[in-house]
């Protein structure tokens, strides 16, 4: 496998238009979940500051957050899948949807 992309849409508990990702995270109390997920992503070598590898943005209507991860190879993908946890006890988006409309 060469490059694989995964894009998720995160649907919030509080349905409204957001001005930033930070506002989305903060107002929905997803801080701990957000940090846990970002830690999983960076633990497999994805550089969260490099928009060629990871990018997040508000959706077109600003009601959701969209995030795309670019996995350079099968080993990185496998390591990511193995590191993912359900995060019991953490407040997380009410629904997460995998989509094919990547933002990178």
For 55-95, the three-class secondary structure string (H helix, E strand, C coil) is EEEECCCCCCEEEEEEECCHHHHHHHHHHCCCCCCCCCCCE
CB 84 within 8 A of CB 40: yes
* Confidence (pTM): 0.92
What's the pLDDT score for residue 86? 87
Given the structure tokens 């949807």, which residue do they identify? 97
pLDDT at 14 over 90: yes
Q: Distance between CA 18 and CA 27 in Å, rounded?
A: 9
Domains of the chain by residue range: 4-99
Tens digits of residue pLDDT in 17-73: 999 999 999 999 999 999 999 999 999 999 999 999 999 999 999 999 999 999 999
pLDDT at 2 over 80: no
Protein fold of 4-99: Alpha-Beta Plaits (3.30.70)
What's the pLDDT score for residue 1? 53
């Amino acid at each position: 496998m060469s490059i694989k992309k995964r894009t998720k849409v995160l649907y919030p508990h509080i349905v409204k238009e957001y001005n930033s990702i930070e506002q989305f995270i903060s107002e929905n109390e997803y801080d701990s979940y957000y940090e846990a997920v970002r830690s999983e992503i960076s633990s497999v070598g994805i550089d969260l500051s490099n928009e060629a590898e990871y990018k997040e943005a508000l959706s077109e209507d600003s009601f959701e957050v969209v995030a795309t991860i670019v996995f350079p190879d099968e080993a990185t993908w496998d390591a990511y899948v193995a590191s993912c946890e359900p995060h019991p006890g953490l407040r997380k988006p009410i629904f997460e949807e995998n989509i094919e409309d990547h933002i990178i």
